[in-house]
Chains A and B, each alone.
Chain A
């Protein structure tokens, strides 16, 4: 019950964010965006036709009205049809989101599990060669551009000049085996880069916890190191770590996928977004920007609630 009330209150607090976010996407894409009139008209339009299309597009209406219209589209998930393919945007999204999730999931899970694991190792053996090696590896992962990692892995694993073990592009989830074939190279690239950032951050969190007073207290009472590591260090570290993991979900699904999908030709939300950017496909852009942002606000909400479940210090009041 308490959690429900808390969630409701957090939702209400999230409204200004949603307003702000939809406002930004509205301003950038619709209000200040290029005039769509001429892309919908044929050659030699008459003044009447122009006026009609403009009215249709709402260019003659006041700011607030147009913004509310935009909000309506977001809420009802009805963005009209794609300018490029004339398919309903909502259908496009319904079709492509699952693909993006399937693509991002293994990388996300592995990136975080391995990240925490490596961070634990580095923190436990702080200052030794193990720590330095792991941190050097993390530094490399951070310094390599995601794009370079993608191309690199593709060359080495998939191309005919490399090992030629995996398909170069494409997507097929008809059988688990096929799924594995197509998801491996993208996942490897993702994990390689993500590990860089994750390991460093998680290590910092864990080391921070290791230097807290209550760890010294535990040692002063003869608690063995393994137990201290679990009860004092790990449990306390999990709070910021879990926060970050949940926080990063919307980014992984949308941002990360844009590059991956357009490069490997995988039909997910990212590729659709990329095509929309190139073609200037406004309806699709509107949809993606708005939805991602709202997703983000929701993720923040979930993070807050997650926080409450894990950290007894966070009061619900």
Chain B
């Protein structure tokens, strides 16, 4: 029974333990992984390849052949919904990576050079972008890029980076004042090295959580944007399916709407719960009861 061992686990070690004990979080993660596998399968061409083909009659009800029935043209709804999973992940991942990277970069720079003109400019820029409502910004960017399919991604990244940047900036300012930074200066490390190797890694827990939040926000926004015609242009997405279904619904045919809604809700809810569990696990103040 040695009392000479250092006892203090790192943030990540503790987080992993806490997360494993969080049943809801683990279940959510499993669901997310199932979706991810589905999306990967579509990309690899394993299934849903026939989403655009007319394989049945108009508005066929759910059957063994067409799990959710067919839409007004006769395309298999389930295949379309499955294909949309891939679109969702594509949008989510691109936006999450882009926004988090941009946010980390600008946030770290602003924080490190806080109270100088560099910081002022970044803050001004954040304030400006914050001031334009999201949909209008997307519309404006889509208008100016004349309907490029990347307008949506650009607009999302241009808006989502801000929260991450703010949090990173705050954390960097806090870290800057800590002694290990002084020590790094004292042994002659260059500024960029200090930022890149010592400060930014201490913000990874923030970045991880923010990335998951951006992912969810991207998927939800895509639905609305595609519905308005500003989103996905080629391919299929849940937003486009819902957009299609608006007339069908008034005629009493709900399968299209339900398929897209339920699938989307499943992924978003699971991801939200996963994100929550992640946050709780990384928060040093929360205590999970021992099993």
Contact = CB atoms under 8 A, between A and B. Distances in A.
A and B touch in the complex (CB under 8 A): yes
Interface of A: 16-17, 20-21, 23-25, 27-29, 32-34, 139-140, 142-148, 151-152, 155, 159-161, 168, 250-251, 254-255, 258-259, 262-263, 273-274, 277-278, 280, 285, 288-289, 292-293, 296-297, 300
B95 to A, nearest CB: 16
A168 B250 CA distance: 9
Contact of A159 (B216, B230, B250): B250
Contacts of B144: 27-29, 32-34
A251 B136 CA distance: 11
Nearest to B261: A148
The main secondary structure of chain A at its interface with chain B is: helix
A297 B129 CA distance: 11
A35 to B, nearest CB: 10
The main secondary structure of chain B at its interface with chain A is: helix
Nearest to A139: B272
Given A151-B249, A277-B139, A139 B132 contact: no
A289 B140 contact: yes
Interface residues of B, number: 44
A138 B273 CA distance: 11
B143 A28 contact: yes
A259 B269 contact: no
A28 B136 CA distance: 11
A307 to B, nearest CB: 16
Interface stretch (B52-60, B79-87, B221-229): B221-229
B249 A24 contact: no
B253 to A, nearest CB: 10
B135 interface: yes
Contact of B268 (A27, A33, A143, A297): A143
Given A168-B250, A262-B228, A17 B133 contact: no
Contacts of B135: 255, 258-259
A210 to B, nearest CB: 13
B132 A293 contact: yes
A296 B139 contact: no
Interface in B244-291: 245-246, 249-250, 252, 254, 257, 261, 264-265, 268-269, 272-273, 276
A285 B127 contact: no
Interface string B226-242: 01111000000001001
